[in-house]
Amino acid sequence: MPEWNIIQAVNDALKLEMRRDPRVVVLGEDVGKFGGVFRATVGLIEEFGPDRVIDTPLAEAGIIGAAIGMAMYGLRPVPEIQFSDFIFPAFDQIVNELAKLRYRSGGQYSAPVVIRTPIGGGIKGGHYHSQSPEALFIHTPGLQVICPSNPYDAKGLLLSALRQDDPVIFMEPKRVYRAARGDVPESDYTVPIGKAQIARPGAGMTVLAWGAMFHEAEKAVGDLDAELIDLRTLWPLDIETIVESVQKTGRCAIVQEAPRTAGFAAEIAALVQERCFPYLQAPIARITGWDTPFPYTLENDYLPLAPRISRKLRELADYEV
């Protein structure tokens, strides 16, 4: 079994599915001859040709609009948006067309579009290449939002996304694109959408994270008695696993890279409070980015890295009513 990074895992998933299903097509800026800005589509055009691996103009609304049309006519497009920051020109196509296609057609049309996009900071990309807009898409009914933290899950979740008929925003944490490595089967397998993973059992508190921040939370937990959960799928959210954990531990911390106000951590906190209020022994903690544009020179101050997470977790552990 090879040890791969997330880029290699994503690339292998795309190859496997394109071999299995001739309806799968990849499109986006530089995905063909160049192999993608992060090299996730290397080798695809050589194997599958320019009819299935399509280099597009720099026009995100056009990329997603074309993908929606392809899906309505029976293809299974996988558009790549080079950075999640660039997805906003296509926002109208995604939230007003793609997300509503099955509903507005009364089920006559499905929308099997999987939008791949790198997310988050940590590569000195500045404020136009470092954002984490997951909450905007979670807020839109009709979309599934996935953000794996490791190569095994990246491959398995991407294959699951490619094989179902609803639109998916597949967010890949670029900070750990190559840093997160692990054993990945070369064979075909899937990871279920909507199921979190308990990465480390514990009884003293519940720590929730996803994507690149999962690795920071893992470092921050240290010797604390904490149950660490990798959400993997942001929406649909595995609220059952979260509730079971918080009812056991009585304390909950949520780590997100995005700005604090109206972020996904706030929604999770509300869901936990509604279901676990009698069990809570401390206020739910949110450890997040700041409510500012993502800074270039102060990147490490903006990101909720392990030292800041650790301080907050120890405050949570020490809290007494």
The residues, any chain, with a CB within 8 Å of residue 36's CB and separated by 6 or more, are 28, 30, 42, 80, 82
Residue of 127, 129, 139, 215 marked active site: 129
Phi and psi at 206, nearest 5°, equal -110, 130
Helix, strand or coil for residue 19?
Answer: helix
**Taking each helix axis from N to C terminus, what angle separates 6-20 and 151-162, rounded to the nearest 10 degrees?**
30
Round to whole Å and give the CA distance between 101 and 168: 13
Rounded to an integer, what distance in angstroms lies between the CA atom of residue 268 and that of residue 209? 11
* Residue type, position 141, single letter: P
What's phi and psi for 232, nearest 5 deg?
Answer: 65, -65
Active site residue 129: yes
DSSP code string of 140-171: STT-EEE--SSHHHHHHHHHHHHTSSS-EEEE
Q: Among all residues, which ones are annotated catalytic?
A: 129
